[in-house]
A and B are shown apart, each in its own frame.
Chain A
Amino acid sequence: MNFFFFHLMPWPYLPPPREFLREHEAAWVTLSNAEYDPVRGAALYERYINELAGAEALGFDGIVVNEHHQNAYGIMPSPNLIAAALSQRTERIRICVLGNALPLYNPPVRVAEEFAMLDAMTHGRLIAGLVVGGGPEYYSYNINPTEARGRFREAVDLVVRAWTEPGPFSFDGEWYHLPYVNPWPRPLQQPHPPVWIPGLGSPSTIDFCAERGFGYMGVAYYAPPETFARQASRYWEAVERSGRPAVPENLGWLTTVYVGDTDEEARAEALPHLAYFAGNLAAGFVGQGKVWMPPGYIDAEALVQFLDDLRASADRRRDGPAALFQAYPMVGSVETVRERLLEFVLRHRIGTVLALLSFGSLPADLAQRSAERYAREVVPWVRERAAAAFAASATPSVELP
């Protein structure tokens, strides 16, 4: 059972959601970087790197960083730089870059090279995340979204071959033609670091992960519980078809966690910062405002479904803050978060919990206190029970709720 501390490095200094959405269409693509304050930014990098490095002493199994460009959602266009800094601040904890957006690199051999460097610099603690990149990045980087999936799949093959096949070799794909693939260094972990791929639920991504033995990290912001249930059952069914062993750690789930003294106190403390994440930072991506989800990035059916889901979640928000807590964020007292997390983990056989513990505009002191409670009082309790349950049933039993 893996418990990872996931950081998006959010920009916390925008006006509150209602005011923000009156003046701006999104936190992505077009939100002017005049809103970014370099002095505050420098202090934030220090705070966020300290939070991630501190996860080791708290007993987390891993820390997670990710790549997004030109937005206030996260000031981490190069997660590899943060991972490199963390490699020198930590000794034991796994470092997961989830991930590098392959179609944004040309040639994607660059990703094979940098991940091999990080694997060496962490003495084999790297988990290599490979991602398609968010829809908004296809606007920001002027990459044709109708090429996203083709480029991604081919680049995954290229990266894995670059790690495992003695060079130089020539790569002749549909999208990439490279006469000399021969990266120095090669990864320390052999044959290569674990590969994880995050997804919003696309069936083809889930099947691809299962077939290739890659971890699938499900992201279902604000979606009802059935959304992740569908992803989990699809993943385990595909693993079974592939004939590979069902490793629980290969199914991950991203959630937001806030642990307080009591349920009421936790909700009151977390609410404005969850609302800031949902109302400000997700605007333009998976939230309100303009949806920078380009045509052809997902097929029209999936895009229309995505917009329907957004409308449904907006309707739920109108029901007030209770709806925000209904399913997705793990917010409450130690007892509440323990029980809800264990129930979800067992029901979907989730072996990797990726927890956003420093989210939205959550101040440093609250983030620290909640992360300590989660690490010391929730994680060991859930770990013990989940490990016993997974050991008792060697094959996954997946049920829909």
Chain B
Amino acid sequence: MSVEVVDGRQVTVTRAGTGPPLLYLHGLADVHSALPPEPPTPLLDGLATGAEVVAPALPGYAGSDPLAPRSDVEDCTFHLADLLGALRLDRVDVVGASLGGWLAAELALRHPTRIRRLVLVAPLGLDVPDARGELFFGAAAPRGVGGLGEVRGVLFADPDGAVALETLPDDLPHDRALRWFGGLAGAAALGWTAPQLCNPKLGGRLARIGAPTLLVWGGRDRVVPVAQAETWRTGLPEARLEVVDGAGHALGLEDPARVGAMVQAFLH
């Protein structure tokens, strides 16, 4: 892990592999959130065969400074563009999952020339009134005694499975609890106000995304139901959809091999 400074703000960055640059923007439950700081996830390791993966922690997550007060998703998109500049990454592939998928889409529509190919894994960001997911921040409110079962239930297809319990155990150790709740505050700063975790204007702007796009979705996603995928697919100029049937919202942790293979096949 390294620390970059962008416009006076610290950004925690995890890197892996060598090859053409790949920007990975993490999600609600992912590298940089409740998992221990090292090593990178199996998904990132997989993507790192054949690419130089650069995975910044979004503002508020894992030691990355929050944005200035009153910042919104547009400021966060400027921040990510500035980060690419600071890292001298002129043109990249972008893989964004969940919260990071939303930001990847916002980045792609504003900087079409800087993004070669785009992968959105269960992206947040779109308001689809007929297919809204569970209220994430409500689910993320912990039990005073007994933990995080409810948020595991919306993030993972199998909330009592090994991956879910390793990612968000009820007795989250102190340092990881700080990462988890700090990250939630970062997400809340961008998307607390209902409709949660989306930009109502994004749907009308999807046609501006020039990069060929792969959509990857968990068939049992409760945060952004797979029924939203069709709105993305038809709104994007060039997109196709792959569904991982048994997976939930955190499909990059739940089935890294399949998600990784889909992404690799699309990028290379």
A residues lining the B interface (CB < 8 Å): 25, 29-30, 138-139, 142-147, 150, 174-175, 287-296, 299-301, 303-304, 307, 310-311, 314
Task: Indicate whether B193 reaches chain A with its CB closer than 8 angstroms.
Answer: yes
Query: Shortest Cβ distance from B198 into chain A, in angstroms?
Result: 14
Residues A303 and B181 in contact, CB atoms below 8 Å apart: yes
Are A144 and B143 in contact, with the CB atoms below 8 A? Answer: no
**CB interface residues, B 145-181, toward A, < 8 Å:** 145, 150, 174, 177-178, 181
> Please, what's the 1-or-0 string for B247-261, where 1 marks a CB less than 8 Å from any CB in chain A?
000000000000000
Contact B144 A150 (CB under 8 A): no
Instruction: Pick from B77-85, B182-190, B208-216, B217-225 the stretch touching chain A.
Output: B182-190
A150 to B66, CA, bound (A): 14
Neighbour of A139 across the interface among B137, B150, B185, B187, CB < 8 A: B137
Q: Is there a chain A Cβ closer than 8 Å to B70's Cβ?
A: yes
Instruction: Assess whether B265 is interfacial by the CB under 8 Å rule.
Output: no
* Residues of chain B lying within 8 A (CB to CB) of residue A296: 184-185, 188-189, 192
With both chains docked as a complex, state the minimum distance between the C-beta of B142 and any C-beta of chain A, in angstroms: 6
Cβ–Cβ < 8 Å partners of A295 in chain B: 137, 140, 181, 184-185, 187-188
Residue of B144, B181, B193 contacting most chain A CB atoms (<10 Å):
B144
B5 interface residue (CB < 8 Å to A): no
B residues whose Cβ falls under 8 Å from a Cβ of A: 66, 69-70, 137-138, 140-145, 150, 174, 177-178, 181-182, 184-185, 187-189, 192-194
Identify B194's interface contact among A142, A294, A300, A303, CB under 8 A: A142
B178→A300 contact, CB < 8 A: yes
User: Are B193 and A144 in contact, CB atoms less than 8 angstroms apart?
Assistant: yes
Q: Is A144 touching B189 in the complex (CB atoms < 8 A)?
A: yes
Minimum CB–CB distance from A237 to chain B (whole Å) comes to 27
Tell me the complex Cα distance, A235–B141, Å.
Answer: 31
Q: How far is B192's CA from A347's CA once the two chains are assembled, in angstroms?
A: 43
Which B residues touch A300, using CB under 8 A? Answer: 177-178, 181-182, 185
Chain A residues with CB under 8 A of B150: 290
Chain B at the A interface: SS class: helix
Minimum Cβ distance to chain B for residue A166 (Å): 30
Contacts of A301 in B (CB 8 A): 178
Cβ of A290 and Cβ of B141 under 8 Å apart?
yes
Decide if B188 touches A144 in the complex (CB within 8 Å): yes
Q: Are A290 and B143 in contact (CB under 8 A)?
A: yes
In the complex the two chains form, what is the Cα distance from A299 to B184 in whole Å? 11
Given A139-B138, A290-B150, A295-B187, output 8 extra A-B contacts at Cβ < 8 Å: A142-B193, A174-B70, A290-B143, A293-B141, A294-B141, A296-B184, A296-B185, A296-B192
Known: A139-B138, A145-B188. A304 touches B145 (CB 8 A): no
| A145 x B144 contact (CB < 8 A) | no
Jot down 23 A-B pairs with beta carbons below 8 A, ordered by A: A25-B143, A29-B138, A138-B192, A139-B138, A139-B141, A142-B194, A143-B193, A144-B188, A144-B192, A174-B69, A287-B144, A288-B144, A289-B143, A289-B144, A290-B141, A290-B143, A291-B143, A294-B192, A295-B185, A295-B188, A304-B178, A307-B142, A314-B144
Shortest Cβ distance from residue A268 to the other chain B in the assembled complex, whole angstroms: 27
Instruction: Point out the residues of chain A lying under 8 angstroms from B182, CB to CB.
Output: 299-300
CA distance A3 to B177 in the complex (A): 41
Query: Within the assembled complex, what's the spacing in Å between the Cα atoms of A92 and B66?
Result: 50
- The one of A287, A289, A294, A310 in contact with B137, judged by C-beta atoms closer than 8 angstroms, is A294
Closest B residue to A301 by beta carbon equals B178
Question: In the bound complex, what is the Cα–Cα distance between A363 and B184 (angstroms)?
Answer: 42
Distance between Cα atoms of A310 and B140 in the complex (Å): 17
Complex Cα gap A307–B145 (Å): 8
State in angstroms the CA–CA spacing of A295 and B178 once bound together: 11
- Set of chain A residues within 8 Å of B189, measured between Cβ atoms: 144, 146, 296
Cα distance A29–B138 in the bound complex, in angstroms: 10
Are B137's CB and A290's CB within 8 A? no
Closest A residue to B150 by beta carbon equals: A290
Residue of A nearest to B196 (CB): A142
The distance in angstroms between the C-alpha atoms of A300 and B175, with both chains bound, is: 10
Q: Which residue of B lies closest to A306 (CB)?
A: B144
Cβ contacts under 8 Å, A139 to chain B: 137-138, 141
- Cα distance A291–B141 when bound, in Å? 6
Contacts of B69 in A (CB 8 A): 147, 150, 174
Contacts of B187 in A (CB 8 A): 295
* Bound-state Cα–Cα, A303 to B188, Å: 15
Bound form: Cα–Cα A288–B142 in Å: 10
In angstroms, Cα B67 to Cα A146, docked, is 11
Contact in complex: B178, A292 (CB < 8 Å): no
Residue from A291, A295, A296 with most neighbouring chain B CB atoms (10 Å): A295
Given the complex, which residues of B lie within 8 Å of A142, measured CB to CB?
192-194
For B144, give its contact among A138, A147, A175, A311 (CB under 8 Å): A311
